[in-house]
Amino acid sequence: MEQTWRWFGPADPITPAQIRQTGATGIVTALHDIPYGVVWSPEAIAERQALIGANPALGLRWRVVESLPVHENIKQGTGDLPALFANYRQSLRNLAAAGITTICYNFMPVLDWTRTELAAPLPGGGTALRFNAHELAAFDCFMLRRPHAEDDHPPEVMARARTWFQAASESTQARLLANIMAGLPGAYDRYDIPGLRRILDTYADIGADGLRAHLKRFLQEVIPAAEEAGMRMGIHPDDPPRPMFGLARIVSNADDLAFITGCVDSTANGLTLCTGSLGAGAGNDLPAIATRFAPRIHFAHLRNVAKEPDGSFMEADHLGGDVDMVAVIAALLGEQGRRRDAGDARWRIPFRPDHGHELLDDAARRTHPGYPLAGRMRGLAELRGVMTAVASLRGLPL
C-alpha cells in the first residue's frame, strides 16, 4: 500500500522534508483557498505540484486530493446545479490531466468531522480527540436550543447533559462551540450559534431520502466524467456516523455504502475506507466492510477508536481500540493482490495514518487538531509494520 500523508499546503507547519522523514512518499492535499464550487485551474494545480516536487530528492508526489469539496447547494439540491456539476467535472479533468487520479470527498451536510474535546489527556502526557455524547447533547439542546432536540438523545445522556450545562461557564461553552467547529476544513469558515441555526434551517425539509436523492444526482452527473478521465472517486464516511443536529447522515454503514456504490455501477464510483469514522458506529464490522466493498476502495484512512456504551468515543492508538486493524489491512492487501493479478496498473491502494495523538513536542508545532507530526508518524510506523508482516506471511504484494 502506498504510504501517504495529509499536508495542508504552504501554511502547514510540517514541511515536505519532514514528511519524507516519516516514511511517506505520497502527498494528500487540497487547494483549500479556492472557494467551494469554483474550478481548480491547471495553473493552480501545477503550482501546488511544484511545491510538493520542489526538492526532487524527497521523491514526493501529489497522490490524492482530499477534498474536492461538494458545494452545499448540491447537497441541498438548490441553485444553479448544472454550473456546479460542470465545474466539478472540469476540476476533476484538470486534476486527472496533471496525473492526480484519486479524489476523496464527503457528503456531510454543513459540518465535517465533529468532536467535543480536542485535547483529552493521555497517560504520560500527550492528548487525543474525543467525542462525548453528553456534551454534544448539551450543545444541541441548551446552547443551540434546537426545537425537539431532546428527542434525539437518550434520557441518561440528557441527564448528564443537564448537569454538564449547569456547571459550564461561558468560556467552557465557548470552547465547546469552537471544538465542534474545528472539523470544518478548507476556507476555515466557522459558524457562531445564530449562523449555525440559519444554515441548519436550510436543511429543515431535507431528510435522509432527500439527501440520498441529491447524492445520487451528483454521482450520475460526475461519475461518467470521472470514469472517462481515469479518476477514482472515494466518498468519505460521516464522522461520527450518526445524525447531527437534526441533519441526516447517509454515509454511515454498510447499507449506505451499498446504496452509494449501486447509484452508478462504475469502479470510479468508490469509497474512502475511513476505519475511525465507520468504527465509531456501534454496528459496523470494519473487516467485513473492507472485504465486501474491496473493489471500490480507492483510498484508506487508518485509525482506531475506543467506543463507549452511550455513543461517546476516544481516538485510540492506531493498533488499539475496537477496530481489528490487522484484519482490515489483510483485506486491503488481499484486494491489492487481486487488482495486480487482474492487470490493474494502479493496484497499490494509497492509505494515510488518519489523525494521531499529540505526543512529545507536537503541541509546540500548532498543527491542525488531529494532525500532529510525532503522533501521526507513530501511527504510520505501526501500520507499516503490520502491512509488512501480513504481506510477507500471506505472500501478498505490499
Least distance (Å) between residue 257 CB and ligand DNO: 15
Among 46-54, 98-106, 186-194, 320-328, the segment contacting ligand DNO (CB under 6 A): 98-106
The count of chain residues that interact with ligand DNO, using the rule CB under 6 A, is 13
Indicate the residue among 24 and 391 with the shorter CB distance to ligand DNO: 24
Q: What are phi and psi of 333, to 5 degrees?
A: -65, -35
Assess contact for 275 and 323: CB atoms under 8 A: yes
CA dist., res. 268 & res. 234, Å (int): 8
Spatial CB neighbours of 190, under 8 Å, sequence gap ≥ 6: 178, 181, 184
Grid coordinates of 159: 441527564
H/E element, 195: helix 193-201
- Of residues 48, 301, 357, 384, which one binds ligand DNO by CB under 6 A? 301
Report the nearest approach of ligand DNO to the CB of residue 305 (Å): 13
Q: Which stretch binds ligand DNO (CB under 6 A): 7-15, 102-110, 286-294, 384-392?
A: 102-110
Q: How far is the CB of 110 from ligand DNO (least distance, A)?
A: 12
Verify binding: residue 67, ligand DNO, rule CB under 6 A.
Answer: yes
- Report the b/e string of 71-86 with b at 16+ CB within 10 A: bbbbbbeeeebeebbe
Give the CA count within 13 Å in the CB-facing half-sphere of 135.
20
- Window 184 to 213, contacts with ligand DNO (CB under 6 A): 185
> Among all residues, which ones are annotated catalytic?
236, 274, 301, 354-355, 371
Footprint (CB under 6 A) of ligand DNO, residues 228-247: 236
Q: Position 385: which residue type?
A: G
Whether cis (ω within 30° of 0) applies to the bond prior to 171 is no
Q: Which lies closer to ligand DNO via its Cβ, residue 138 or residue 315?
A: 315
Q: Per CB under 6 A, which of residues 359..398 are in contact with ligand DNO? A: 370
Binding-site ranges for ligand DNO (CB under 6 A): 66-67, 104-106, 112-113, 185, 236, 301, 354-355, 370
